[in-house]
Amino acid sequence: MTHAATVVMVEPRDFGFNNDTAVDNAFQHHPDASATQVQKQAMHEFWAMVELLDKHHVDVITLSSPEGVEVPDAVFPNNWFSTNQIDLILYPMKAANRQLELQPDQLQQQLVKSGFIEPTIVDLRNDFATAGILEGTGALVFDHANQAVYGNLSERCEDRALHAFAERYQLRLHRLRAVTNQCVPIYHTNVLMAIGSEFVVIASDTLTSDEFNSESLEELRNSKTDVIPITEEQMVESFCGNIIQLASTRGDPVIIMSESARKGFTKAQLKRLESHGAIISSAIDTIEYVGGGSARCMIAEIFLQKA
């Protein structure tokens, strides 16, 4: 299976503006509302999205935020773990308060309770201690159909760690160099691009002119039937690059995005995307505006085998 039918989402109990990550995340904004109002609205948006996914037959496992620590970005669990058929992989993250989000034991217990095999925990925080930062599927965008991985070099996706990961899991590596119009590296690859079975959405106008990008774009054109370019404005203002293709429990392809992304795509772009799966969009304006991440960031896929 190239797309997951089960995902993990973590409730945003402590959600708010994260000063520690704002240094290199240009997508975050200080809210006008009070911290209490922001947290309340984020919680409402989160549970509405969980309900919507459930309604469309996407299996959602929800976790509580870890106790005893303040974790404003816990709603974005895809940065601290990913799975394959047998492993639960933990990743080294940049910000100290994001490192507190990890709760592998609780996650492992919940996965087993949900009928999956007990995964082997692979802790890349130890293995990559000298290789650098690699923030999960924020940094890594997988092309599961072609056993490849794409990574945009940034402080959240360091070159040595990216190479070490690709080598460890025997994936073809495609490095990218993408920057905002302020010449700041785009902090996560998954706001820049999304890869489905037969399509890719990519903010191609943010790519610099170098051999990494030329080779990566050529590979995408050769491996996908539908390459959908988006503008930097669509990426930044509407999170059109932060979408994900999943499979419903009925086996149907679905594409998850925020309501702002749906509105940000042109009608022609949406029509192309709809040919690859039913579009499910959820209004998560507060999470996007304050947290600097969108629907894909809120979803961690489960590829483990069933017990």
Nearest to 74 by CA among 293, 307, 306, 225: 293
- Assess if residue 43 is contained within a domain: yes
Considering the domain boundaries, does residue 92 fall inside one? yes
pTM of this structure = 0.95
d(CA 122, CA 132): 16
pLDDT of residue 26: 77
**pLDDT classification of 168: cutoffs 50, 70, 90:** very high
| Spatial separation of the C-alpha atoms in residues 87 and 91, rounded to whole Å | 12
The structure tokens 């070159």 sit at: 159
The DSSP line for 22-71 is TTT-TT----SS-HHHHHHHHHHHHHHHHHHHHHTT-EEEEEPPPTTS--
The structural domain count of the chain equals 1
Q: Are 172 and 201 in contact (CB under 8 A)?
A: no
Inside any domain, residue 142:
yes
Please say if the pLDDT value at position 135 is more than 70: yes
CATH (domain of 227): 3.75.10.10
What DSSP element (H or E) covers 6?
A: strand 6-10
Task: Over range 6-28, report the average pLDDT.
Answer: 88
Is a pLDDT exceeding 90 seen at residue 79? yes
pLDDT over 80 at 211, yes or no: no
Give CA separation, 289 vs 24, 35, 223, 279, in Å: 15, 14, 34, 22
Residue 11 lies in a domain: yes
Tens of pLDDT, residue by residue over 264-296, are 999 999 999 999 999 999 999 999 999 999 999
Neighbours of 212 (CB within 10 A): 16
Residue 242 lies in a domain: yes
Percent with pLDDT over 70 in the chain: 100
Residue 120 confidence class, pLDDT cut points 50, 70, 90:
very high
Q: For residues 208 and 214, is the Cβ–Cβ distance under 8 A? A: no
Task: Name residue, tokens 């490849």.
Answer: 148
Q: Which domain holds residue 291?
A: 6-302
Domain-embedded: residue 19: yes
Beta bridge partners of 134: 157
Residue 1 lies in a domain: no
pLDDT digits (tens, 9 = 90+) for 23-63: 778 787 888 999 999 999 999 999 999 999 999 999 999 99
- Evaluate if residue 140 carries a pLDDT over 70: yes
Mean pLDDT value of segment 140-150:
96
Is residue 237's pLDDT more than 90?
A: yes
Average pLDDT over the chain, rounded to an integer = 94
The answer to whether residue 307 sits within a structural domain is: no
Residues 240/230, Cβ–Cβ less than 8 Å? yes
Mean pLDDT along residues 66-93 = 96
**Could you tell me the sign of the dihedral formed by the alpha carbons of 136, 282, 49, 55, in that order?**
negative
Output the pLDDT for position 129: 82
State phi, psi for 111 to the nearest 5 degrees. -65, -45
Give me the percent of the chain exceeding a pLDDT of 90.
85
Question: Please, which pLDDT band fits residue 180 given cuts at 50, 70 and 90?
Answer: confident
Element (H, E) at 164: helix 159-168
Rg of the chain (C-alpha set)? 18
Tell me the pLDDT band of 81, cut-offs 50, 70 and 90.
Answer: very high
pLDDT at 1 > cutoff 60 = no
